[in-house]
């Protein structure tokens, strides 16, 4: 017997969350061992750990409460990692020394596994004078390039690349360059980007008024607000970025408006945070709390929900004391305010189980009611914790209760806080839950609709045979188990059958009772016209959302689960169908066999100042008509180079022979900086010999057609692909973690549906 609802869930647990020794020997013998480890660690800060450990275990059991991945993987281990997911770094000073101090802090934070956010509005615009050096400023975009390069070199804890959010105010003089930065596919690849949109700007857009771009009290130039808004909209229409953050609404509704000002968010946008702000995340799995699913009287077990929320709040509050922090400023900020971000996952599945169509008025009303119940239970639990353990240090009853969020809270909750105080300044958030949702049995992610009812995943075995696994949405699987072959009801909808305004309606309904923000992607069809696209953002603003992120599949962003070429009406009762000729995911579990002979090319690399050249030979293999790298040999007469050239030869060849997307090898090598300095080669500065080797490999991969171009990703790769069983779609870029072609925009970040990998963590 196993607790896992699907093979992929167990694989995610084993790969991401199971504690293992350095040699790979499992410490967590089963998922119950993982739950015990977490429960024990979070109970250890209690006055009576023995009393709370079994209660914490019961909350975790059966995937009812899902702490975020950093807690699940790190709690109760001796790893030097933070259990916090989200950080916004300190305010970036407008000085060279201050800027690079901030860069160092970012590197230390990402090294421990934290995603970070920065507001770059504080850096003077390009061309502004720099006093004392007779020069003009290079502007915030140039320093963002430095951050981007640093992020590429940092492998966060758990072999996860760092993720970053960059924000810029809508009145900064360089905002137009910021808006269009992602039109260059090779630039700022490690950043998510959002414009901080103010209420006066939105009023100017609606009035078609002038808008001043200013810095330091000086007006640099004046533009038409509507034209600037259209530039934001056109960029996100074409490139899926930048996102939009309604920053005045965030500050107006903030419980802590009396002691902090927010100007940035974490990478996925659900946590607006002040300088050095930190927040940890966790989710209530609503799909596990529905009583009598699919029956006429199906409903959410509200008593069980209240109890689970109260326990989850206590567990998350304990994480504040149990966690390490990359920087002392982050530890102080977290302990002064004790922010937590309790959210939900499995919302869409829960709605399906109670007979509601995601996106309908009825589903939105039910979602609002559920989110209010969670907010009430969380605030009451935190007030009780304050009575027991003390309120957060910066609590002031009068301004706290006068804040925008608290003004709409029920009287009994306000009275409890007035009497007892409150332990946690903010309590609710809806975070990206892509990986933990897979781990919990492929429940729908966060408040997103079901993405795909099912898809087939084929695995290449060691003996060369292939096995096929079906990955099925949790609610669909439960329907099959209880209803057999009965046709899915008409209220079963997925992300591709929904109108964009249905997405907005659901986000707005949930936002009303979320004191932080929400990570959500509004999927729009490829053929949506520009004016209708803009209407989505205006509707998000008018209905109280704190931000808006859309995804429109196209030639630039990739066709992620795109609709068919011909316009088709959504079926009244969608079916899960099978297609033997559909694409497949192939895991390269064993290296490719080496043919007797291979075609290749040898390149001579002469590093300036070095007596001996380096010779790099790249051999290719042809699979299904596609040429791809198979092995590399790096040789030099310089014996000082012997050890590392042999190591590179072996390691890179091993990566090549595993198949999938190996373009990251180029990316990593080109990002290596030699502290002794690089060299100029053919008019271009190369930061190290290793970066030069990366450039040679890239040149070869472009020449053979494996890469689309310098600084770009895969041109094509026949080794892996996936096709949803709901609607046909062309292939997208490959996942850099598992090589599968199942990248999708989920909750504001590209996420692999196969292995759960996301640069946003």
Residues identified as active-site: 266, 268, 270
Angle, CA 729 vertex, CA 728 and CA 732 arms, to 5°: 160
DSSP labels, 62-80? GGSEEE-HHHHHHTTS---
Cα–Cα distance, 388 to 373 (Å, whole number): 23
Helix and strand element counts for the chain (H, E)? 24, 30
Contact 223, 211 (CB under 8 A): yes
Going from the C-alpha of 214 to that of each of 123, 157, 485, 679, the distances in angstroms are 12, 39, 63, 39
- In the block, residue with structure tokens 């209708």: 532
Contact 214, 220 (CB under 8 A): yes
Contact 464, 472 (CB under 8 A): no
Longest dimension (CA), the chain: 81
The per-residue b/e assignment along 527-557, b for 16 or more CB within 10 angstroms, e otherwise, is ebeeeebbebbbbbbeeebbbbbbbbbeeeb
Side by side, the strands of the sheet bearing 599-605 are 599-605, 614-623, 626-636
What's the DSSP call for residue 613? -
How many Cα atoms occupy the beta-carbon half-sphere of 245 within 13 Å?
A: 35
Backbone angles phi, psi at 186, to 5 degrees: -95, 0
Give the other-Cβ count within 10 Å of 602's Cβ. Answer: 11
Helix (H, G, I), strand (E, B) or coil at 300: strand
Contact 266, 279 (CB under 8 A): yes
End-to-end CA distance of the chain: 30
């Amino acid at each position: 017997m196993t607790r896992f609802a699907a093979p992929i869930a167990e694989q995610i647990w084993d790969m991401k969350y199971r504690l293992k020794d350095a040699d790979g020997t499992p410490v967590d013998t089963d998922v119950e061992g993982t739950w015990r480890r977490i429960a024990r660690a979070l109970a250890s800060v209690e006055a009576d750990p023995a009393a709370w450990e079994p209660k914490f275990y019961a909350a975790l059991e059966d995937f009812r409460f899902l702490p975020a991945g950093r807690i699940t993987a790190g709690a109760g281990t001796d790893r030097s990692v933070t259990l916090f997911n989200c950080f916004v770094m300190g305010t970036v000073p407008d000085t060279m020394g201050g800027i690079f101090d901030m860069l160092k802090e970012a590197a230390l934070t990402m090294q421990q596994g934290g995603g970070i956010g920065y507001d770059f509005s504080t850096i003077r615009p390009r061309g502004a004078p720099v006093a004392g050096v007779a020069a003009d400023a290079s502007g915030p975009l140039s320093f963002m390039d430095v951050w981007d390069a640093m992020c590429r070199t940092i492998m966060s804890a758990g072999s996860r690349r760092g993720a970053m959010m960059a924000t810029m105010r809508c009145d900064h003089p360089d905002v137009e360059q910021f808006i269009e930065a992602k039109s260059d596919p090779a630039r700022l690849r490690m950043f998510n980007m959002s414009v901080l949109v103010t209420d006066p700007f939105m009023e100017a857009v609606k009035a078609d008024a002038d808008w001043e771009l200013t810095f330091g009290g000086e007006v640099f130039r004046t533009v038409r607000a509507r034209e600037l808004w259209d530039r934001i909209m056109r960029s996100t229409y074409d490139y899926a970025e930048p996102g939009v953050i309604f920053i005045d609404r965030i500050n107006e509704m903030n419980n802590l408006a009396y002691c902090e000002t927010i100007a940035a968010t974490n990478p996925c946008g659900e946590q607006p945070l002040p300088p050095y702000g930190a927040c940890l995340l966790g989710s209530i799995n609503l799909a596990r709390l529905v009583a009598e699913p699919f029956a006429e009287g199906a409903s959410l077990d509200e008593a069980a929900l209240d109890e689970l929320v109260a326990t989850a709040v206590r567990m998350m509050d304990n994480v504040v004391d149990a966690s390490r922090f990359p920087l002392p400023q982050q530890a102080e900020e977290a302990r002064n305010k004790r922010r937590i971000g309790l959210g939900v996952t499995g919302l869409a599945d829960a709605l399906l189980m109670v007979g509601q169509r995601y996106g309908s008025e009825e589903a939105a009303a039910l979602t609002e009611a559920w989110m209010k119940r969670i907010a009430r239970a969380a605030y009451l639990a935190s007030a009780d914790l304050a009575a027991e353990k003390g309120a957060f240090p910066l609590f002031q009853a009068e301004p706290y209760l006068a804040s925008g969020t608290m003004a709409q809270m029920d009287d009994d909750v306000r009275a409890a806080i007035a009497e007892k105080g409150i332990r946690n300044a903010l309590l609710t958030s809806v975070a990206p839950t892509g990986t933990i949702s897979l781990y919990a049995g492929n429940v729908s992610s966060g408040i997103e609709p079901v993405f795909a009812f099912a898809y087939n995943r084929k695995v290449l075995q060691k003996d060369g045979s292939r096995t096929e696994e079906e990955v099925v949405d949790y609610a669909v699987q439960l329907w099959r188990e209880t209803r057999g072959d009965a046709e899915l009801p008409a209220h079963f909808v997925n992300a591709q059958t929904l109108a964009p305004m249905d997405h907005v309606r659901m986000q707005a309904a949930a936002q009303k009772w979320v004191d932080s923000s929400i990570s959500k992607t509004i999927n729009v069809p490829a053929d949506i016209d520009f004016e209708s696209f803009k209407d989505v953002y205006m509707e998000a603003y008018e209905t109280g959302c704190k931000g808006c992120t859309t995804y429109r599949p196209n030639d630039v962003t990739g066709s992620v689960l795109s609709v068919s070429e011909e316009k088709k009406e959504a079926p009244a009762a969608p079916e899960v169908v099978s297609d033997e000729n559909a694409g497949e995911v192939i895991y390269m579990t064993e290296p490719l066999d080496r043919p007797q002979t291979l075609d290749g090319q040898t390149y001579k690399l002469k590093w300036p100042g070095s007596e001996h050249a380096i010779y790099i030979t790249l051999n290719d293999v042809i699979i299904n008509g596609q040429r791809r790298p198979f092995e590399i040999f790096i040789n030099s007469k310089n014996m000082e180079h012997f050890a590392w050239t042999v190591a590179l030869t072996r390691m890179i060849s091993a990566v090549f022979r595993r198949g999938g997307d190996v373009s990251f090898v180029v990316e990593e090598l080109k990002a290596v900086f030699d502290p002794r300095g690089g060299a100029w080669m053919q008019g271009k500065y190369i930061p190290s010999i290793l970066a030069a080797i990366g450039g040679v490999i890239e040149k070869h991969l472009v020449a053979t057609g494996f890469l689309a171009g310098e600084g770009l990703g895969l041109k094509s790769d026949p080794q892996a692909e996936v096709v949803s069983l709901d609607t046909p779609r062309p292939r997208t870029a490959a996942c850099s973690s598992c090589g599968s072609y199942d990248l999708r925009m989920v909750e504001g970040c590209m996420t692999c549906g196969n292995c759960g990998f996301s640069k946003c963590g």
